[in-house]
Amino acid sequence: MEKRAILAAVLMAGLLILYQTLFAPSPPPPAPVQAPVESKPAPPPSPPVAVPRRVEPPRAIPQRTVVVEAPLFRAAIGSDGGKLQEWTLHYRGDKPMVLPGALGPAGLVVQRPGAGSERVTFDVKEQPLALGPARPRGELLLAGQDAFGLKVTEAFQFHAEGFHVELALRAENHQAVPQAVELLLPWSTLKKWPDDQKEQFQGQRPTRVVRLSRGEVHRDELAKVADLSEQGTWIGFESEWYIAALVPLTPDFKLTTSAEADGTVQIALRATPPPLAPGQAWEGRALLYVGPKEHDRLKALGVGLEQAIHFGHLLWILPMEWIAVPILWLMNFLYRQVPNYGIAIIVLTVITRILFYPLTLKSMASMKGMQALQPQINALRAKHQKDPQRLQRETMELYRKHKVNPMGGCLPMVVQIPIFYALYVVFSLAVELQNAVFLCFGTIFHTALWICDLAEQDPTYILPILMGISMFVQQKMTPTVGDPRQAKIMLIMPVVFTYMFLYLPAGLVLYWFVSNVLQILQQYYTNRRGRAAKAAG
């Protein structure tokens, strides 16, 4: 999450606490002793590796491209190393995730000591592959041989309803001498994009390298990427909403990163099999995911890729994932019932208000009690203005006598702050909200009318203004405690919040506006019930 977003959220939570306070309601067991293991003879040494001689390719292989069409993507695989030349998501519009020369893979690369790198040219039938309900899976097999007699095959398995591709690699030594080789699956991006090259959609450009190794997620800004080679679970390029991830499925792979001299950053899976004797083969498997960071979809892969979604912590203590993931699940569940994310957010707001209504009621009652005692508190202040300690004792005695908790108006709101912050995180990171419309009446002069993308700010600023008005009304209806002059100063709070919400996602502003409206209705009902009880008494 961007630093300015975190700062905005923390500031928002702090202001909310201030506003509501003043105006609103055993050691591990020892390791078991292992029995002595019988000594076994050492394995025979690997055969010496000689420099293989070059062999002539059997025939010239023409360059071909195979197109794969599926409901969720369109792919194009080239015979030059099995390079992914195109990967366009059919996800809330067409979104290209591969940009030639700027972002994408380089195909399968074979490296050997003293002979440099070579991209294998494969033989493949130029026959389109179409996937759908009648054909949920499809495989594309590429086979070729490098200049040293190493036969390489690469099998792609595509899934109609997924953004992932399963890769199966096989390398077989057809030379009369052993060969030591490394196989590389690289993916690269520009470290700094040209100023005149704009993103075709928000999140297209990666901003960080993210990897899961030794059970921890590590993130590096592109400008700070250094050479690295280690065992790990997965590695990828990420933005806030999208990721291109490489996942090893067999143990011979390592995760690597490097900053290249041409201004690009490269990540890769590097396989280093043991030297291959004549006729010996090596096999490895990997997985490629290029798509949106949908939590449920990433978790279904079973490789921990859902940890690429950075929910963060509240005050570096509470992991927001504990609260944000259930909220995200509930929002998507509501969307499946009413296929409009704007309506789903409104229903989610109503549910939240119902759950917190007892706390809100308690806060309102405490604020009213404080308001009723305000004249007596002011009298004590005037009487003991030169004796602060006695003023404090007699004020607390007054609270105890009337059974009023001075923190009763604040504590219920403190309990709700993690929920509010989790909602902010969800609405900021949920890629599901991208291009999700609420009330969209088209565009005029390239300006959307009205909310055509819940993940973007409201271009008309109508919703933030309505939110500010609702906050002002709520503030005027809330029992006032404390210094009246301070209360007048705090009337600026709706203006401050309105300014902050101008540039936040429309989904978050919608939640806050609806929450304020429900709070106003609750306050009106409470005040009316209080007046009726007073009249009856």
- pLDDT band (50, 70, 90) for residue 486: low
- pLDDT band (50, 70, 90) for residue 1: very low
Q: Which residue has the higher pLDDT, 455 or 71?
A: 71
Structure token pair of residue 406: 């001075």
pLDDT at 133: 93
Give residue-wise pLDDT tens across range 406-428.
Answer: 666 666 667 778 888 888 888 88
Average pLDDT value over all residues in the chain: 84
Give residue-wise pLDDT tens across range 286-342.
Answer: 999 999 999 999 999 999 999 999 999 888 888 999 999 999 999 999 999 998 999
Sheet order of strands, 216-221 included = 122-123, 137-145, 150-159, 164-173, 281-292, 242-248, 234-238, 208-213, 216-221
- Strand, helix or coil for residue 153: strand
Sheet order of strands, 94-96 included = 94-96, 84-90, 73-78, 65-69, 129-130
Is the predicted pLDDT of residue 23 greater than 70, yes or no?
no
pLDDT at 270: 96
Give residue-wise pLDDT tens across range 110-124.
Answer: 998 767 788 888 888
Domains of the chain: 3-23+314-536 (no CATH), 65-193+201-309 (2.70.98.90)
- pLDDT band (50, 70, 90) for residue 38: very low
pLDDT (mean) for 28-49: 46
CA distance 98 to 116: 26
Give residue-wise pLDDT tens across range 496-525.
Answer: 889 989 988 899 899 999 999 998 988 888
pLDDT at 5: 47
Q: What is the pTM of this model?
A: 0.81
CA distance 537 to 535: 5
pLDDT (mean) for 425-442: 87
Give residue-wise pLDDT tens across range 156-214.
Answer: 999 999 999 999 999 999 888 899 999 999 999 999 888 888 899 889 999 999 999 99
CA distance 287 to 4: 34
